Structure 1
């Protein structure tokens, strides 16, 4: 399976204390520019003839362009739509971590979508962003239900959104750190071997630490491809995070087959799984 992962560049004017919140704010403030940027990247990705185009979180603002299906030209596209409430003048100080009603204080909703066979459908929304949220049995149960929902299937693959990869948990055993499937998700009836042999598509919102990439690599799935939005770290004078776009096969890294770079847009990385 050929997968084109899209990595979109987000310009942030000043050095932020919270890069994730800065990305959120930048996208809301330039809806037209963001949508044009994302559509251009998808158009370029399509030239690589992939079966699937994986976009980063918050791909479009307000709504996807009407030309998306035409630009995709038969390819499956995994994307998100950020839906800010324009009636608010102030942006949230606290980054939202999952979909919420528009009137939810300090939060804006976003949704996951798949364009498949020319039809756009909405997918079950993200359940968790951080591992500690799975310490609650009800949340672990909801994640178990979501990960086994038919709405999360994308062809022969599965959509696991952003921080939901925290279903992989680190623990110390005999002085050694090991990565295991979340016990509460197991108790909810969903086990790691249920995902053996699957390809996972994992769109994220901002670059992840090596710690999170290790969780992706050590999961029970056969393959996983992840991507995210990227910041201009030279402009921000910050130490660059690891590249957000990765693919792993059988718990090992997969090198890209091809890469396309575009000024002020980002890049497209092609993997052959």
Structure 2
């Protein structure tokens, strides 16, 4: 009986936590469908009197959302593909290839994960400024073409694949790249999907870095474009929430579609160190 009560309490706590996590998202959707007079009413109203779907059309036309969307798609796709390539090659080198100082180099690179990203903002900005990349796609993409966290995650997954497959492939005359592409990559599909999801969501939602390295509306991404709804006269919260919903929904759908691979990739990535 005690185990049943404990399980029931656990599920109750998890359910409460899940509801608390979903509430802000539901409030965003509710606010995006309200009229301006309903947004600031006290006490707050969860459901609007009428569904103002036109808020989404207004939000799209009010700011240069088509340009913001194009920039976000370009940055997300290119940086995700670039990071996937560097992650696969580096993870394979650290898990299967043997070279002098491999473990020491990996430990040093792993230590960089403890450096806060905010500490690197100024050095990275100065470097890009000297290269003349400010307010260009290079500034939004190149600094994020590699991730030590992604390399670590994929390396751990590669280590869970039996090394006998590597030796058998070498005996059959297969080179390192052929073995990596034909055997390791297909077997590591859950981990690769996890890397892609983390990178795509991170790039899509990035705000601080695009805000720093872009100066014109033509180079702004969607999260930075949300600032268009805040002016000296105030904030149009219903339009801001409508724009936010349009930004959040694509990544939410992407996560729901590949959730199974994400869980498997993270769980199997920690099997062997």
TM-score range, shorter chain: under 0.3
Question: Which has a greater percent of helix?
Answer: 2
Question: Which has a greater percent of strand?
Answer: 1
- Structure-2-length-normalised TM-score: 0.22
Tell me which structure has the larger Cα radius of gyration: 2
